[in-house]
Structures are given as C-alpha cells and as structure tokens.
Structure 1
Amino acid sequence: MKSSERARAVELKPYLAARAKEVDAALDQFLPKKTAAPGTIHAAMRYTVFAGGKRLRPILALAAAEACGGKAEDAIAPACAVEVLHTYSLVHDDLPCMDDDDLRRGRPTCHKVYGEGMAVLTGDALLTEAFYILAQTPASDRYGVRHYVAELALTGGSRHLIGGQVLDLEGEGQKPSKARLLKIHEAKTAALLTTSLRLGAMTANATPKQLEALTTFGHALGLAFQVIDDILDVTQSTEVLGKTAGKDAEAAKTTYPALFGLAKSRKEAARLTKEALDALKPFGKKGERLAEIAHYLLDREY
C-alpha cells in the first residue's frame, strides 16, 4: 500500500466507526427487545445482528445519500433494512444444509447457539423485519415506500440473492467457469451492495443519472469486494477472518482464486475498483467518501 493510500485509510476509519455506531444505535431501536415475547427468537435475532459486522452495506447507503446532496439520517431506515436482510442471508448460509459453518464474525453461528430450527426461524424473522424497517423510510419527491420495497424485494429474491445461492450450491464440486462465477457474485454480493447505494440515494431524491452512476459503481465495487473476500479465504487464518478459513476450497466452490489464481485475482480486484472509481466522476467532491471506501475495501486484510 502506498503512503498516500495508507493515510487515506487511517482518515477513513473514524468515519466508518462513527457511522457503524449510528447504525448500531438505530438497529437497537428498530429491532424487538429480548424481553418481547417470544424471547428466544428476539434474543437470536439480536445475537446475529449484533455479532460485530463492519456495517459496510448501511454505511454505503448513508454515504450515497450524502453524495446525492441528502442527509444521512434520512437514509437510516433503508440502511438498517439492508443490514438486517444481509444478516438473515448469513444465518441461512451458515446452516448445515447450506454452507455448514460453525463460526461467523468470531462467534458461534446462530444454529450452533440456538439450534437449527430456531436459526431457520431467525432468518425468516429477520427477512420479514427488514421490510417493516424499510417501510418507515421517509418519501422523497421522486420515490415513495413502494419504490423502496420493490428495490429491496427484487434484490433479495430469486432473481438475485437467493438465485445466486442456488447457483453457488449447484456449483459445488463442478469445474469452475468464469460465466458461473460472475453470475454468482453479481447476484449475491454485487446486487446487495448496489441496492444499498441505490436506496440511500433514493432518500436524497437522486436523479436517474445519479442512480445509474451508483448502480455502475456498486456493481464493480461488489465484484471487487468478492474477489478480495475469495483471496482472504485462501490467505488468512480463521482467527483473522472471524469465520472458518479455507471453507470455499474444501467445498470445491467456484471462486476467483480457484479459477484465476491469486496473482490474477488481485489484478482483477484492482481493475474492478478502478471501474468503480470511474463511475463516481459525475459526483465530483461529493463522491469522495465513496471513493475512499472503495480504496479501503481493496486494501483490506480481513
């Protein structure tokens, strides 16, 4: 990492920490308390949501609102909705019938603590709760609740997030192909990051051109993020990652390193990050925070 990039990463960290704290406070208010009946499901929901995630997706939503000239606080509901939906997907992904993982964010996964049946219900509850939270988003001149709900529902359904998991499961043990790899990561990681940006921008009454630019940015950023994630699964330890390292290779999953090797994968991540940064040019200085996040994600080590 160059000295200028290192300095930029240091400057960004307080922003990320402050935004994550804001998101956590809002999530605490949105989610049912542990004391609300039935207590077990609400405890399990909070256990998974407050497991120490980076809050990348909600932070992108807040930053996108600001890039479009809006206020971050107006985007807090969709930001939290995206994080809750993302957490549901992790709970289900970790189940023995899916990716079968015992560790997530450095803690035992939901089904290891609460049992498989309760973990299934926890994921179901979080998915439903995401739309309850999303429905509390203030309308802008161009966008209302129906637009927000349609955006997240399309991303979370069989055309994107769930469809990507289907391809992921069907690809286990198969010979890796570039086409399958791209479809999986476009449907899962890239789609949800893009929707985070779009929802945040919509609360700021983004123009169609702004939404188009953020869609391009999110697509490239999401793919770059997944390339780095695949690399880290190979190069880092379980202790560093907070989840079981080497799971992708063990399950013979389709990943960038499996298909291209580490060196080419790193080059691809850099290429995609540049593509993402180019998409931010219409925003000028207002897009600088998003650009900083893109650089930060490219250089991350966990």
Structure 2
Amino acid sequence: MLKTYLETSKQTIEQWLNTILKSPIPEYERLYESMNYSLLQGGKRIRPILTKAVLESMNMDASLYKEFLCALECIHTYSLVHDDLPAMDNDDYRRGNLTNHKVYGDGLAILAGDGLLTYAFQLCSENKTASANQKIKAIQCLATAAGPEGMVGGQAFDLLSEGKHIPLEELKVLHGGKTGALFNAAIELGLILSNAEKEKYTAYMTYANCLGLLFQITDDILDVTGTIEELGKTPGSDMRQDKSTYVSLLGLEGAQNEAHRVAQNAHSALSTLTDNTEILSAIIDYLMERTH
C-alpha cells in the first residue's frame, strides 16, 4: 500500500512542480532552465509527501494547499544545489545526473538556488485557500527551518566540522539543523494548514524529530553500504571528506541499532494519536528499508 501511495503522491507533486517555474522574461530563461533542471530531476519528494500525509490524516484535501508543498520541495532542492557546489561538498552527480554547477557553472547554480529559495515564499503567498494567519505561520515555519536557526545553521556547522571528529551530541545538533529542520517543517506545515489542535502537536512533532534523525542515520549507513546505481551519486563521500557520521562514531552495527531505536520512538509517538496515521507509520518502516 505504501509503495503505491508514495508513487502516486510523487507523481501528483511532480505534476504540480512542472507548472510553477515559467520565465516571465525571455532574458531570464536560462536561469529558470537551471532551476527546473534540479527541481524536476526526481527524488523521493518525501518532504511534501509528509505534509500531504499529515493533511490527509486529518481528512484535508492536500491539493488545495499545493503551493505550500511545492515550496517545501523548492527549499529542499535549493539546499541540494548549494550543497553540491565546489565550496561545499563538491559533488559531480546528484540523482544520477550531473550536478547543477557541472551543467550551468558555479555562478548560475548559486543563483538557481537563490531563486528556488525565495520563490518558495512567493508560492506560499499565492495560495488561495489558507487564511492570512495560516500563511504567516506557514511562512514563518518554513523560514525558520530553512534559515540560520535550522538548515543553514546545520550546513554551516557541517562545513566548520570538516576534518574534525565531533562527538555524537554535536553530530545530532548538526543534523537537527541540516536535515531535521525541514522534516519538522514538513510535519508542522500540515498541522498549521489543518488547524490541528495544540494537543496533537507534541505527538506529531516527536514523530517529526525522530523521522529527521532516522533519515540521517540511514543516509549515513547508505553512504557506506550503497552503490552509485542505488544512490545516484558516488558512495563514500563522507569518508573521503573525513566527516563524522553515525557510522564513523557508532560503527555500522551501532548505527543500525540506533536507527531501530529511533524508529520505535517514532512509532510510539504516533500510537498516541486517534488520527489515521497508517501512512505516516509506514514511512518509518520505509526509511528503515530504503536502499537510496
């Protein structure tokens, strides 16, 4: 069931993404081409799918809020474009294709990332269903997750930690920003747009925190165990850059055990809710079993 849900949701979200970036000015078309190059390359679309699943768990129609879901994917894609740059991770491949800067050059890749990030907030403002108050809360949620308190802060700490062997607690802080913040935002976005009761927030956000951590632990495991065909990028990049990871700190078996513990905590959080969280629960198991 989950496989079908993920595939149909991915197709729906990609149909929406295909319509959002059209250059209003002919002279800017190369920029929009660069933005679309990375935005439309595929990927799991797990973050907007999470928002969709939260909305649907409370019987909401996610299509009425598609601008927010697309905004989330724009922000995620911008982070990947910048993450791949020579000044950052210096990756040549992403999702099995050449990275943006390898096709369009460093300058245009930076601007494409900037464009995706800022356009995300324009998209949120253009939604016709959410109230003004919901838009303000949603934009604040996304901006906080993407900014120096969240993803940018985590990325900066990651950059400053290269070549160092940071302890586990600092690694959790790093990934709480770099990876976890946008997972949290994906869940919170669904809560904001569905006007969820405050009592539900604790359980959903505990789940979100666990999911972001689980994604990063399994990502670290895959960097060791995966292949370029499975990952769409060269495996072993963390080791080559001498980064601290859950595998380097805990060992492969220890990281796998930690993933199981975090997954169980995520399931426990959902078990306290009366909403239909079957899909959200299945996503936990999906992350545990993923190969890319």
TM-score (norm 2): 0.96
In the alignment, structure 1 residue 69 sits paired with structure 2 residue 70: no
For residue 44 of structure 1, the aligned residue among 31, 34, 43 is: 34
Distance 1:21 1:36, change over 3 A: farther
In the alignment, structure 1 residue 85 sits paired with structure 2 residue 75: yes
**Could you say which residue in structure 2 is the equivalent of 1:240?**
230
Please give the alpha-carbon distance, in whole angstroms, between the structure 1 residues aligned to 2:71 and 2:249: 34
Distance 1:274 1:141, change over 3 A: farther
1:158 is aligned with what amino acid?
P
CA RMSD of aligned residues (A): 1.6
Distance 1:155 1:64, change over 3 A: same
Please give the alpha-carbon distance, in whole angstroms, between the structure 2 residues aligned to 1:276 and 1:297: 12
Distance 1:35 1:46, change over 3 A: farther
For residue 192 of structure 2, the aligned residue among 202, 209, 214 is: 202
1:183-222 aligned at under 5 Å gives the runs 183-222=173-212
**Could you say which residue in structure 2 is the equivalent of 1:254?**
244
In the alignment, structure 1 residue 31 sits paired with structure 2 residue 21: yes
Report the 3-state secondary structure (helix = DSSP H, G, I; strand = E; otherwise coil) of the residue aligned with 2:89.
coil
In the alignment, structure 1 residue 162 sits paired with structure 2 residue 152: yes
2:50 touches 2:186 (CA, 8 Å); kept in 1?
Answer: yes
**Could you say which residue in structure 2 is the equivalent of 1:116?**
106
Distance 1:140 1:282, change over 3 A: farther
State the shift of 1:134 in Å.
1.6
State the shift of 1:202 in Å.
1.6
**Percentage identity across aligned positions?**
39
Render the CA deviation track for 1:22-73: whole Å, top value 9, x for unaligned.
Answer: 1011111222259854111000011000111110000000001111332222
Report the 3-state secondary structure (helix = DSSP H, G, I; strand = E; otherwise coil) of the residue aligned with 1:254.
coil
State the shift of 1:76 in Å.
1.8
**Could you say which residue in structure 2 is the equivalent of 1:101?**
91
State the shift of 1:194 in Å.
1.1
2:64 touches 2:129 (CA, 8 Å); kept in 1?
Answer: no
Report the 3-state secondary structure (helix = DSSP H, G, I; strand = E; otherwise coil) of the residue aligned with 2:273.
helix
Render the CA deviation track for 1:208-255: whole Å, top value 9, x for unaligned.
Answer: 122222111110011011100000001111121001210000001121
Render the CA deviation track for 1:117-150: whole Å, top value 9, x for unaligned.
Answer: 0000000000011111122335557942111111
2:289 is aligned with what amino acid?
D
Further displaced range: 106-115 or 61-70: 61-70
In the alignment, structure 1 residue 14 sits paired with structure 2 residue 4: yes
Please give the alpha-carbon distance, in whole angstroms, between the structure 2 residues aligned to 1:103 and 1:72: 32
Report the 3-state secondary structure (helix = DSSP H, G, I; strand = E; otherwise coil) of the residue aligned with 2:272.
helix
Query: Unpaired segments of 5 or more residues in structure 1?
Result: 1-10
1:200 is aligned with what amino acid?
G
**Could you say which residue in structure 2 is the equivalent of 1:5?**
none
Render the CA deviation track for 1:247-298: whole Å, top value 9, x for unaligned.
Answer: 0000011210010001010111111111111111233351111001111111
State the shift of 1:191 in Å.
1.1
Report the 3-state secondary structure (helix = DSSP H, G, I; strand = E; otherwise coil) of the residue aligned with 1:219.
helix
2:92 touches 2:102 (CA, 8 Å); kept in 1?
Answer: yes
Report the 3-state secondary structure (helix = DSSP H, G, I; strand = E; otherwise coil) of the residue aligned with 1:80.
helix
2:58 touches 2:275 (CA, 8 Å); kept in 1?
Answer: no
Please give the alpha-carbon distance, in whole angstroms, between the structure 2 residues aligned to 1:278 and 1:170: 35
Further displaced range: 199-208 or 94-103: 199-208
Please give the alpha-carbon distance, in whole angstroms, between the structure 2 residues aligned to 1:41 and 1:220: 36
**Could you say which residue in structure 2 is the equivalent of 1:286?**
276
Aligned length: 292
**Could you say which residue in structure 2 is the equivalent of 1:146?**
136
Report the 3-state secondary structure (helix = DSSP H, G, I; strand = E; otherwise coil) of the residue aligned with 1:279.
helix
Query: Unpaired segments of 5 or more residues in structure 2?
Result: none
1:143 touches 1:202 (CA, 8 Å); kept in 2?
Answer: no
TM-score (norm 1): 0.93
Report the 3-state secondary structure (helix = DSSP H, G, I; strand = E; otherwise coil) of the residue aligned with 1:274.
helix
Render the CA deviation track for 1:77-119: whole Å, top value 9, x for unaligned.
Answer: 2111111000000000000000100000000000000000000
Distance 1:123 1:104, change over 3 A: same
Report the 3-state secondary structure (helix = DSSP H, G, I; strand = E; otherwise coil) of the residue aligned with 1:286.
coil
Further displaced range: 142-151 or 51-60: 142-151
